[in-house]
Amino acid sequence: MALTLYLHPLASYCHKVLIALYENDTPFTGINVDLGDPGSASMVLERWPVGKIPVLHDESAKRVIPETTIIIEYLQQHYPGPAPMLPNDREQLLQARLWDRFFDLHVSTPMQKMVLDRIRPAGSHDPFGVSDAHAALETAYEMIDGQMAAGQPWAIGDTFSLADCSAAPALFFASIVHPFGETYPNLAAYLDRLLARPSVARAIGEAKPYFEMFPYRDAMPARYLAM
């Protein structure tokens, strides 16, 4: 096995794949990429011209695998471990894929809209877009709180899955830019369980040296800084 993951330790989508790797103790080499540095970025662009991270390179198979969900499915298919991230049951599999997409599209996307707006040059901010992102997160929080109201520990039931790999970094960063407060107790309890998961804590712990780069660093809860 010769797996190389091109990533940045602060990137939430990179956390998603790292969590799946750590859940299964899958051996890999991580290479940090600075997309703002042409020399560093070329390592990704040569393999995936879209220029998004993470990207997995499987040297043994001479394959490049982009996109977080596809990477996790590829790992399960070709390098299975003791903790499958995709259920065998077809209905559970559909639910895992549904909630994986939900967390990516309806939590990560508006969260990133807000983060990127904060670092835009003066005069180019998008207050309407940011307001819309806040509203989108509020809708997502309500839906997740309802999903977790049945009392299951993880997004689709009793087993940690692809959906939770997606949820952990999305909710970690979203809770900073648009806090839950006490409005969504089931969601808050779910995030607490995610943050206590060793694979999640490891991914976030590795990001800590880069927290100063996060545009909402001033809004980070003290407990996040202590992780």
CB 162 within 8 A of CB 188: no
How crowded is residue 7: how many other Cβ atoms within 10 Å of its Cβ?
A: 22
Domains 3-78 and 90-225 share a fold: no
Domain boundaries, the chain: 3-78, 90-225
pLDDT at 1: 65
Residue 35 — very low, low, confident or very high, per pLDDT cuts 50/70/90? Answer: confident
CATH number belonging to the domain at 3-78, selected among 3.20.20.80, 3.40.30.10, 3.90.1720.10, 3.40.50.300: 3.40.30.10
Per-residue pLDDT tens over the stretch 6-15: 999 999 999 9
CATH number belonging to the domain at 90-225, selected among 3.30.390.30, 1.20.1050.10, 3.40.50.300, 3.40.50.1820: 1.20.1050.10
How crowded is residue 203: how many other Cβ atoms within 10 Å of its Cβ?
A: 25
Mean pLDDT of 57-62: 96
Closest Cα partner for 41 from 12, 6, 68, 75?
6
Per-residue pLDDT tens over the stretch 168-219: 999 999 999 999 988 999 999 999 999 999 999 999 999 999 999 999 999 9
The whole-angstrom separation of Cα 9 and Cα 212 is: 12
Upstream peptide bond of 127 is cis (omega within 30 degrees of 0)? no
**What is the pLDDT of the chain when averaged over all its residues?**
96
